Amino acid sequence: MKGGVTAMILTALYFLENNIIPPYTLKFVFTADEESGGLGVRALRDKGLLQDISKVFITEPSDEEIGICEKGTLWLNIRIKGKSSHGSKPELGINAIEKLYEYINKLKNTLDLDKKHPLLGSSSYATTTINGGVKTNIIPENANATLDIRTIPGFNHDEIIDNANKIAKDMENENQGMTIEVDVENNRPPLTMDEDDNFIKEIVSIYEKLSYPVKLKGINFYTDASQLIPYHDIPFVILGPGEENMCHQKNERIKIESIERMIEFYISYIINF
């Protein structure tokens, strides 16, 4: 991400140092907390500081390819309280761990994970943390897990949350004395742009002018666009230096030439459009 930030700064400096007044107002937006709750972009959005923007470049690493869509993200925290008993008398208790696995599988079965998107592939459903139990010979009373659900366009997150709550209520009714809490930790909708949108066509034309290879792609991770585009229906693109698969790797790095190419593109786009 520092590569995208660097490209933004050097693009701004190009106009300042060369005393070039751009054809329209440029806003260079630097935000914190993009990886979690998006506090930075939400603060700017809610204060109305982004209401007048007409096009958005998200400078996340996209392999220098033109990102026209991104997967949605839904993080759920599931907490189950059952009833403890001695390990030799499991029938006297309610095994929270076993009920947690049952819940996870029931929710997964409500999702069409075979449905595919031409650029993003399929949605995914992963159990990412799980905790429960205190001792081998005690039926566990408490268990909790977190679920990371990534969705392609066409999935409705409100519908998934409604199903999550309905399954919890049904299981509580089937197991008197058991409670299930479902908390939403993160909710980012999937986003997509029409490849025939004028904004995307403009970008392609600059790529061709610069003799850059033109390839449209989907982004599997979420960006600040997910906290902005649903509130301001404006054209966006995810397009920046660096390799998507390098994110969060050991010895994470970026090629200087990639930053330079993206600076050249940003400047060319701004001057031409």
3-state class of 39 per DSSP? helix
Question: If you ran DSSP here, which 8-state letter would residue 94 be given?
Answer: B
- Looking at residue 81, its pLDDT comes to 98
- Looking at residue 263, its pLDDT comes to 98
* Domain 72-188 in this protein, CATH class: alpha beta
CATH 3.30.230.10 at 2-70+190-272, yes or no: no
- Looking at residue 251, its pLDDT comes to 87
pLDDT, tens digit, 9 for 90 and up, residues 49-76 = 999 999 999 999 999 999 999 999 999 9
Mean pLDDT of the region 44-52: 94
The residue extents of the domains of the chain are 2-70+190-272, 72-188
Distance of CA 48 to the CA centre of its chain: 23
pLDDT, tens digit, 9 for 90 and up, residues 84-107 = 999 999 999 999 999 999 999 999
- Looking at residue 245, its pLDDT comes to 83
C-beta separation of 51 from 232 below 8 A = yes
Report the percentage of the chain scoring pLDDT > 90.
91
Give the number of other CB atoms < 10 A from CB of residue 138: 13
pLDDT at 45 over 80: yes
Torsions phi, psi for 214 (to 5 deg): -95, 120
